[in-house]
Amino acid sequence: MVGFAAHRSAVDRLLASYHAIPADATVRLAKKTSNLFRARAKSTAPGLDVSGLGGVIAIDAEAQTADVGGVCTYERLVEATLPYGLVPYVVPQLKTITLGGAVTGLGIESTSFRNGLPHESLLEIDVLTGSGEVITASPTENADLFYGFPNSYGTLGYSTRLKISLERVPPFVALRHLRFGDLRELETTMDRIINERSWEGVRVDYLDGVVFAADESYLTLGTQTDEPGPVSDYTGMDIYYRSIQQRTTDRLTIDDYLWRWDTDWFWCSRAFGTQNPRIRRLWPKRYRRSSFYWKLIALDHRYDIADRLEKRKGNPPRERVVQDIEVPIEHTADFMEWFLREVPIEPVWLCPLRLRESSRGDRPWPLYPIEPNRTYVNIGFWSSVPTRSGEEEGATNRLIEKQVSALDGHKSLYSDAYYDPAEFASLYGGERYTELKKRYDPKSRLLDLYSKAVQRK
């Protein structure tokens, strides 16, 4: 752990780097990595120095809290908290997601049906705002920034320190995989599990699902346990998502459970051949992780490798369809049936969520208006589809956006978006965002949310 003195020095360097950026240049982070799938604004100006903000500052095991630097990854945080038998309330699926990124850009995982989203376990946050000040925000201090920061994607400022609550966990997770031949039955069962927090008399601590086809889908139910026994390992030759089809029960260590999706980037590693047993044996284990696959994707984006290969085959370029959308649980089957008819992508990930009971008021997080006391299901799909001659740019993504809005849903903004300004404002904060922007970035040193999130020519 870095401690508060070293953290203060890191913040001083950050502020110095802010003031070194020309007044007419856009402020940005000097980060080499990102979990965004949309194009980022180009800038020739130096970025903010966040090099000292990647560590765990302090852990209070008795109070079950952690103070963490803004660009600390969940991998690093979990390494520090697990020896105390503690983890964050929500641990996003990929190791290199940062706490600051999960709060300002949202995150989700299989505890979200009971623990909500990462920003709901936030107790206090220090933000370097667009005005160049580091402001502490909490439910009682600068509360408008505290509640407005989630889903702002760095357009109000960047977190330098986050204080979060932690929960206790035992060493193992016991899994049950329930198979469904009908999506409506899956929807009904998922709703029942969420309401009862159990299934067939056994407590459910973790809940997510996978749709392979209209007649083959699964819910995975996880239960925390102290009971010792044999555990599976999906960091080697075995592949986690295939085990869901092959087994009805399983056991993992808590550490392996938290990162079960990272080894193969859910199922996206198949694009690189990593799931071929002959290639997998030769692929170094240290490179079987999402951060390495991300580097391969970055190379593809830089040199248009995939489109060039398609062109050699006589095929048109492909449209990237990498999205996480959310619809009310009662529309899960409606969306999935439509999606499986219209979009040639499988598998698809399902992850239910509800705001925690501690989130008070009507839509307390204004830039991501999840309604209290309502269950939603995050639906994730990450691939590409063939384009057709004469189609407008992003045709499939636009079609998905229309269907999501028709079902009273919305989507995360980490990837391509095509909303017009009016619809975007109605979905993501509107006047509340404008007020926050004027207060915390009065000279527009940072991009506004629409400019940063929506793909435009």
pLDDT above 80 (res 34): no
Q: Which residue has the higher pLDDT, 126 or 39?
A: 126
In sign, the C-alpha dihedral spanning 423, 145, 119, 126 is: positive
98, 100, 56, 60: which is closest to 80 by C-alpha? 56
pLDDT of residue 24: 83
pLDDT of residue 157: 96
Averaged pLDDT for residues 195-220: 98
Confidence category of residue 28, pLDDT binned at 50, 70, 90: confident
What's the domain range around 26?
3-168
Assess if residue 9 is contained within a domain: yes
Tokens linked to 126: 């220090």
Averaged pLDDT for residues 187-208: 98
pLDDT of residue 369: 81
Assess if residue 72 is contained within a domain: yes
- Structure letter (DSSP) for residue 34: -
pLDDT of residue 38: 55
**Which of 127-131, 245-249, 291-295, 405-409 has the lowest average pLDDT?**
291-295
Averaged pLDDT for residues 216-230: 97
pLDDT of residue 306: 73
pLDDT of residue 303: 72
Averaged pLDDT for residues 393-413: 96
Rounded (5°) CA angle 262-263-267: 80
pLDDT above 50 (res 436): yes
Rounded (5°) CA angle 62-68-72: 135
Assess if residue 407 is contained within a domain: no
Q: Within 10 A of 188 (CB to CB), how many other CB atoms are there?
A: 16
Torsion of CA 429, 432, 438, 440, to 10 degrees: -80
Tokens linked to 9: 């020095």
Q: How many domains does the chain have?
A: 1
pLDDT in tens, 368-386: 988 889 999 999 999 999 9
pLDDT above 90 (res 322): yes
136, 2, 125: which is closest to 57 by C-alpha? 2
**Which of 7-21, 40-54, 152-166 has the lowest average pLDDT?**
40-54
Tokens linked to 335: 């969306």
pLDDT of residue 36: 59
Q: Cβ-count burial of 449 within 10 angstroms (0-12 exposed, 13-18 middle, 19+ buried)?
A: buried
pLDDT of residue 308: 76
In sign, the C-alpha dihedral spanning 146, 152, 157, 159 is: positive
Tokens linked to 456: 């435009």
70, 206, 165: which is closest to 125 by C-alpha? 70
pLDDT of residue 300: 76
Assess if residue 150 is contained within a domain: yes
Assess if residue 297 is contained within a domain: no
Backbone angles phi, psi at 311, to 5 degrees: -65, -40
pLDDT above 90 (res 404): yes
pLDDT in tens, 279-300: 999 999 999 999 999 898 888 7
Confidence category of residue 432, pLDDT binned at 50, 70, 90: very high
82, 57, 102, 74: which is closest to 289 by C-alpha? 74
Confidence category of residue 130, pLDDT binned at 50, 70, 90: very high
Assess if residue 77 is contained within a domain: yes
Q: Is the pTM of this model over 0.85?
A: yes
Q: Within 10 A of 434 (CB to CB), how many other CB atoms are there?
A: 13
pLDDT above 60 (res 39): no
pLDDT of residue 457: 45
Assess if residue 10 is contained within a domain: yes
Per cent of the chain over pLDDT 70 is: 94
What SS3 class is residue 153? Answer: coil
Confidence category of residue 40, pLDDT binned at 50, 70, 90: low
pLDDT of residue 358: 60
Per cent of the chain over pLDDT 90 is: 84
pLDDT of residue 444: 93
d(CA 369, CA 367): 6
**Which of 87-101, 209-223, 288-302, 420-434 has the lowest average pLDDT?**
288-302
Assess if residue 446 is contained within a domain: no
Confidence category of residue 363, pLDDT binned at 50, 70, 90: low
Confidence category of residue 32, pLDDT binned at 50, 70, 90: low
pLDDT above 90 (res 304): no
Q: Within 10 A of 293 (CB to CB), how many other CB atoms are there?
A: 20
Query: Which CATH number goes with the domain that contains 89?
Result: 3.30.465.10
Averaged pLDDT for residues 50-56: 95
